[in-house]
Amino acid sequence: MAGKPVLHYLELRGRMEAIRWLLAAAGVEFEERFLTTRDDLARLRNDGSLMFQQVPMVEIDGMKLVQTRAILNYIASKYSLYGKDMKERALIDMYSEGMADLDEIVLFYPYIPSEEKQARLATIKDKARNRYFPAYEKVLKSHGQDYLVGNRLSKADIYVVQMLYHVEELDTSVMDSFPLLKALRTRVSNLPTVKKFLEPGSQRKPFDDAKCVETSDKVFS
pLDDT greater than 70 at residue 58? yes
pLDDT band at 2 (very low <50, low <70, confident <90, very high): low
What CA–CA distance (Å, rounded) separates 29 from 6? 9
Domains annotated for the chain, with CATH where assigned, are 6-79+197-220 (3.40.30.10), 86-191 (1.20.1050.10)
Mean pLDDT of the chain: 95
pLDDT band at 136 (very low <50, low <70, confident <90, very high): very high
Gyration radius (Cα) of the chain, Å: 17
What CA–CA distance (Å, rounded) separates 43 from 1? 28
- For every residue of 14-50, DSSP letters joined together read GGGHHHHHHHHHTT---EEEE--SHHHHHHHHHTT--
pLDDT greater than 50 at residue 1? no
How are the residues of the chain apportioned to helix, strand and coil, as percentages rounded to the nearest 5? 60, 10, 30
pLDDT greater than 90 at residue 213? no
6-56 pLDDT per residue, tens: 999 999 999 999 999 999 999 999 999 999 999 999 999 999 999 999 999
CA separation, residue 17 to residues 68, 73, 142 (Å): 10, 14, 30
